[in-house]
Amino acid sequence: MTLFSIHPEASNSHRDVNRPLAIVSVTALGVIGSIVFLLLPMLIGAFTETLSLRTSQVGLLGSADMMGMFIAAIVATFWIRSCNWRVIAALSCGLLVVCHLASGFTQAYLPLLTVRLLAGFAGGSLMSIALTSLGDSRHPDRFFALFVSAQLTLGGIGLWVFPGLLAQFGLGGVFAGLAAVVFCSALMIPFIPQQGRNPVVTVLKKQGLEDSDQESQGRALQPGGMTPGVMALVACFIFNMGIMMVWAYLERMGNAAGLPGDYIGRTLGLSLLAALVGALLAAGFETRFGRVMPLLVTLGVQAIALVLLATDLSRTSFMLGVMLFAFGWNFPVAYQLAITVTIDVSGRLVVLFLSAVKLGYAVAPVIAAQLFWFDMGYAPVLALAAVCFLASTIVFVALARRSNTAPL
């Protein structure tokens, strides 16, 4: 038996994903693994101002963490149901601490790009564990929403203190702070499950089949083709590409409108409160209004936000646009994840969902950068984001109705 494997006679407590302490622990580790993408607008601005890099280099640097997370999620599909989560989490936390510390002292472009790619890989491994564990739980809608809420709370604190920390200690101070947060969160590793539930048993329970005979398993695990799963992953990719196309350039939009830097930073920080409200509402509503209606409400909110951001920005329109955008980003996430888990019969699709998220985040800044060739400011970026949100909503609504997970 290797260090990474689970002993076949391990007690069920090592797989109990529903223990409150286990839920808190995997949530904490998943949040610190993904926190950088919430700080991305401020990091892009800091890289631009302090490292004297070209716009194209800054765009790629902003995508490095996301690409690392994408690669980690793909790799996780091979180990997530067989390896010891505690060992993987410990190794990932150690690598993440080293990468954050190294980022604060690395000035050259290629070495910094490599370090951030590794940091993304470590963070993505932690997120893979967290999302798989929460997806195995009895109430995935609720716990996914609470995960997003915790993510937003820490991200909001990070955006709030970022300007002062950067001004006083530079990028080294910012990344040292991130390393300290990772180190503290690593203390939760002994309380996470060593592995999740058996996916066959999980599907049987989700479908109300308490017996485990061969006939029931056959009914529960009917393949139904790859189409629904591929559709969910594509919709996830499109949605998050649209999100990051806008989010990565919000600071630049405000700057182009002549808004003060401190006002932009505080607005981005406060916007995470609106996002937190969205995530908490999803946790509270759970499936009370189904899973289709929240997706349609989100689309309407996003349309209003994009219209506000496309106008001549004032302090008021910028704040309202950013607030609504943040709400529309985070309110539907739990429903999208739950729809994906519902159509998953392997127990691995939730990890591929994460890879689709990170791929969308990774390619978005690069695609958005190409749109500036049209010399129309940020209008093409906002228009393409609107198309992404519409297309993604159509696919998720179709999947929800097909699987009978969410009546209108």
List, for residues 163-200, the tens digit of each pLDDT value.
788 888 888 888 888 899 999 999 999 999 987 665 54
Q: Tell me the C-alpha distance between 242 and 91, whole Å.
A: 32
Q: Which amino acid is at 87?
A: V
Q: What is the dihedral of CA 47, 50, 260, 266, to 10 degrees?
A: 50
The pLDDT, as a whole number, for residue 211 is 45
Contacts of 107 (CB under 8 A, 6+ apart): 51
Length of the chain: 408
More confident residue, 151 or 14: 151
Q: pLDDT at residue 237 above 80?
A: yes
Q: Which is nearest to 356 in space by CA: 231, 171, 191?
A: 231
Q: Tell me the C-alpha distance between 248 and 40, whole Å.
A: 6
Average pLDDT score over residue span 55-61: 75
Location of structure tokens 């689309």: 299
Location of structure tokens 């490095």: 64
CA–centroid distance for 139 within its chain = 19
The pLDDT, as a whole number, for residue 96 is 95
> Structural domains in the chain?
19-402 (1.20.1250.20)
Q: Which is nearest to 33 in space by CA: 121, 159, 162?
A: 121
Q: Tell me the C-alpha distance between 321 and 319, whole Å.
A: 5
Q: Tell me the C-alpha distance between 5 and 195, whole Å.
A: 9
Task: Name the strand (E) or helix (H) holding 390.
Answer: helix 379-402
Q: pLDDT at residue 348 above 80?
A: no
- List of E strands, 313-370: none
The pLDDT, as a whole number, for residue 64 is 85
pLDDT in tens, 20-57: 898 999 999 999 988 887 787 777 777 777 777 776 67
DSSP assignment of 84-115 equals: -HHHHHHHHHHHHHHHHHHHTT--SHHHHHHH
The pLDDT, as a whole number, for residue 219 is 40
Q: pLDDT at residue 404 above 70?
A: no
- Please tell me which of 41-55, 255-269, 323-337 the model is most confident about, judged by mean pLDDT: 323-337
Q: Which amino acid is at 149?
A: S
What pLDDT band is residue 355 in, cutting at 50, 70 and 90?
Answer: confident
Location of structure tokens 């280099």: 57
Task: Name the strand (E) or helix (H) holding 29.
Answer: helix 20-34
DSSP annotation of 234: H
Average pLDDT score over residue span 258-268: 85
Q: Tell me the C-alpha distance between 9 and 238, whole Å.
A: 42
Contacts of 146 (CB under 8 A, 6+ apart): 27, 279, 283
The pLDDT, as a whole number, for residue 6 is 53
Q: Tell me the C-alpha distance between 222 and 126, whole Å.
A: 30
Q: pLDDT at residue 235 above 90?
A: yes
* Percent residues over pLDDT 70 in the chain: 84
How many CB atoms lie under 10 A from the CB of residue 114? 16
* Percent residues over pLDDT 90 in the chain: 27
What pLDDT band is residue 251 in, cutting at 50, 70 and 90?
Answer: confident
pLDDT in tens, 66-101: 888 888 988 988 898 888 999 999 999 999 999 999
Q: pLDDT at residue 392 above 90?
A: yes
Average pLDDT score over residue span 208-218: 44
DSSP annotation of 195: S
pTM recorded for the entire structure: 0.73
Location of structure tokens 């485990």: 212
- The stretches of 331-348 forming alpha helices (DSSP H) are 333-342
Q: Tell me the C-alpha distance between 271 and 383, whole Å.
A: 21
